[in-house]
Structure 1
Amino acid sequence: MFPGEDRWYFSREEIDNNSPSRRDGIDLTEETRLRKAYCSFLKDLGRRFKLHQATVATAMVFCHRFFLCQSHAKNDKWIIAAVCMFLSAKVESTPVDLKTLIITSEEILHKKVIAAEQRQGVYEHYKGLVSNGEKLVLSTLNFDLSVDLPFDILIQAMKKFILDEATQGKFPSAAWKFVQDRYETEMVLRNL
């Protein structure tokens, strides 16, 4: 699924019908639910680490790209999402500590704080999975970690087109929300 120059952009039909998850019996509704679940998880991770929106958006794009090529049925979405956040944090120059990422991920997933005496055990249990997941994500993405984010363009457009107080109040928040919500869907993979 890597067609030349526009390697990460596909038609809606290609995404909906050619998904590896679809071949493994996961229907479009379930795949959409899975996408929303890992995006929600990534937003929670981003909040916990106080990461910039660009880091979180990049992690979401990495996840969407990964699951465009790999099946949800054969990969743990939580491990893949954590790996994508780890890689995104590196790419966006906001690195996070692997041990803290693993502990925080587990706390989010299980909705409880992990006791200090259990943290090393949790880290030891998951660090190999995350390390293997990182190799899988990198190879699946063909080491292409380039993501074009619209945040800078949106800021420039807002400065250019906000002419009065009426547009200043509504346009920026609506535009910003539209852009953010887009990352939670497969739209970041679509050639509109």
Structure 2
Amino acid sequence: MIYTAIDNFYLTDEQLQNSPSRKDGIDEATETTLRIYGCDLIQESGILLKLPQAVMATGQVLFHRFYCKKSFARFDVKKVAASCVWLASKLEESPRKSRQVIIVFHRMECRRENLPIEFLDLNSKKFAELKVELSRTERHILKEMGFVCHVEHPHKFISNYLATLETPPELRQEAWNLTNDSLRTTLCVRFKSEVVACGVVYAVRRFQVPLPENPPWWKAFDADKSGIDEVCRVLAHLYSLPKAKYISVCKDGDFSFSSKSSDSQLQSVPKEVLQGGSPANDVVAPKAASTVVSVESGGSKGAIKAALDKLKESKKSDDESKSANGEARDEPIPRIKAQDRERSRDSDREREREEAERDRDKSKDRSHRSKDRGKDSGHLEKSRYLSSRDRDYHSSSYSSRDKDRHRHHSYA
């Protein structure tokens, strides 16, 4: 059965305790830190992309819903946060291009992890991989949501209720800030937005704004006192936590928007070469050791000469193998050049053939046009001749009639 309502996204405390991340061995503190870190990325990226607050709120809710069904060990928090921003911008009708989202997250990663600010080449292989990963993660999110991405935020309830009570603007601003901070927690998947709104209003009671008590004001929003107290407790615990940092728990390795992973791999190769030596030296070293053993055991000059001859032969064979490998590597270059020449020749032949066909077609068109012009000119000449003859005939007949009239009717 497919549910189109948003009630199926609310979870109980027991379900949150048995989340997929917890089953993969991630403790509660680490999961909470990663949730806060991902929401911080969504909020900051939305500001850099100049998106409205509704986009960031929707992205954070989608982020929490996704990790209620999938584990942090399978999906890295950075790429899920980027995909949530990209998807939420389209849901809230403020779309941004994937290129813009990737550039912003690349910049935030460099700044947060104290990496050198590097230029992200849009034509590089790294950018193409990031773009594919962004689309793939968005499809995973939509599939887990069942393509039902409707989100109801508590902001509208707070605005309407506080406007009705004619509260001061300071209280409204603090309530708005608390509502934004509540999206960093799992309150959006535990309680309805009305209950979260009531908890936020109750949390800003230090402004001492009178609220109805009989009946209790929260009854109008279908909330209870226990839910309001839990919202206040979660918000107080959120403000007691230190700033969230990235923790690598993904089984597939660290996901990065920059090229630091590839740089580290390139830097690790020379160290291994320096420590372990080249393969040729590894081959020669056992032989040298064997010669030392033979020298110590025999101690004769003939054995020493034989060992030195073997070393020279091994070095010669290594040099020959290296030269053969170098020649084998150099061989494909002329072949590639020859292939390029053949391709250019084929393209030139095709171009010449096409030009010859065009010239042939043009000549045919010209011959047809000349024939048509000859027919038209003959017809015009014939019509011109006939018209002149008709004119001569009419003029001659007219002159003969005038002569007859003057002949029979003479004027005295």
Q: TM-score, normalization: structure 1?
A: 0.89
Letter of the 1:168 partner, please give it: P
- The residue that corresponds to 1:11 in the other structure is 12
- The residue that corresponds to 1:108 in the other structure is 108
Gaps of 5+ in 1: none
Where do 1:146-157 residues align within 5 Å? 146-157=150-161
How many angstroms apart in 2 are the aligned matches of 1:113 and 1:157?
A: 46
Q: Does 1:119 align with 2:122?
A: yes
Letter of the 1:129 partner, please give it: E
- The residue that corresponds to 2:142 in the other structure is 138
Q: Offset of 1:34 from its aligned partner?
A: 0.2
- The residue that corresponds to 1:85 in the other structure is 85
- The residue that corresponds to 2:272 in the other structure is none
| Structure 1 residues 151 and 169: alpha-carbon distance in aligned structure 2, compared to 1, 3 A threshold | closer
Report sequence identity in percent. Answer: 29
Q: Does 1:56 align with 2:56?
A: yes
Letter of the 2:110 partner, please give it: H
Q: Offset of 1:161 from its aligned partner?
A: 1.0
Q: Offset of 1:150 from its aligned partner?
A: 1.9
How many angstroms apart in 2 are the aligned matches of 1:128 and 1:61?
A: 23
Gaps of 5+ in 2: 192-226, 228-412
Q: Select the structure of larger CA radius of gyration.
A: 2
SS at match of 1:74: coil
Q: TM-score, normalization: structure 2?
A: 0.43
- The residue that corresponds to 2:176 in the other structure is 176
Contact map agreement 1:103 1:114 (CA 8 A) in 2: no
**What is the root-mean-square deviation of aligned Cα atoms in Å?**
1.9
Contact map agreement 2:82 2:101 (CA 8 A) in 1: yes
- 1:74-111 Cα offsets, whole Å, 9 max, x none, are 10111111111111000001101111111111111122
Q: Offset of 1:170 from its aligned partner?
A: 3.1
How many angstroms apart in 1 are the aligned matches of 2:12 and 2:4?
A: 14
How many angstroms apart in 2 are the aligned matches of 1:114 and 1:57?
A: 30
Poorly superposed stretches of 4+, deviation over 3 Å? 2-5
Contact map agreement 1:22 1:28 (CA 8 A) in 2: yes
Contact map agreement 2:4 2:148 (CA 8 A) in 1: no
